Amino acid sequence: MNDIGLFKISSYRLGFISALTAILLGSCVSLKTPKRQDLVPLTAPIVIGDYPLRFDRPMSRVVNMQLKQDTIISMVLWNFFRDFPVKDSLEFAHATHIHLELRDKSHLLASLHDGLTPLRTEIIEGRLRKGYFRIKHELSFRGVPPFYWSMSSSKMQFGLSNLGQLYIDQADETNGSILIIMAGVGGFTTSYTVPKLSR
């Protein structure tokens, strides 16, 4: 192969690496926090409280144009504290509620309970930021560049209202490519409000 061919290959590789580096550096999804007048800034340590296993989230007709009225989606709260769904697990089948504690400024304890008995416990790493507990930013990369690859970026934070409601804000973004065809789903933030269990 002559010098011109080598130069073209090197230029292509350099261009691809530069583009991929720019995407990696820019793929930090932005978490947009709604304005909440009733937010109680979290401090550590604190017992946040007990919450239901599931909560209902209305889905607007704007999202699903086939519906003539708003519909209700049942969300599994425990999945926000796990890397994979566990709704069919033995622990979840016997659980009655979820207990949350902020142990210190960088660790949130989430435990699945059957009455007073803890069934499973997860420790989530993060940090306190502007009254919320923000979970460590997750960035995952899959594939074999330059043939195909995908990259996902996600952020999540928890807050507390003056009535004990749990606020959850979650942002996700995905980018990828097959050969030279680039595609992506722009970052967006979804917010949830979970009522506290009354005893």
Q: Is the pLDDT of residue 23 over 80?
A: no
Specify which of 65-74, 100-109, 147-156 reaches the highest per-range mean pLDDT.
Answer: 100-109
> What's the pLDDT band for 48 if we cut at 50, 70, 90?
very high
Mean pLDDT of the chain: 75
pLDDT of residue 12: 46
- Can you give the chain as a three-state secondary structure string? CCHHHHHHHHHHHHHHHHHHHHHHHHCCCCCCCCCCCCECCCCCCEEEEEECCEEEEEECCCCCCCCCCCEEEEEEHHHHHCCCCCCCCHHHHHCCEEEEEEEECCEEEEEEEECCEEEEEEEEEEEEECCEEEECCEEEEEEECCCEEEEEEEEEEEEEECCCCEEEEEEEEEEEEECCEEEEEEEEEEEEEECCCCC
pLDDT of residue 96: 93
Per-residue pLDDT, averaged over 100-117, amounts to 94
> What's the pLDDT band for 169 if we cut at 50, 70, 90?
very high
Put simply, whether the predicted model's pTM sits higher than 0.75 gets the answer no
> What's the pLDDT band for 93 if we cut at 50, 70, 90?
confident
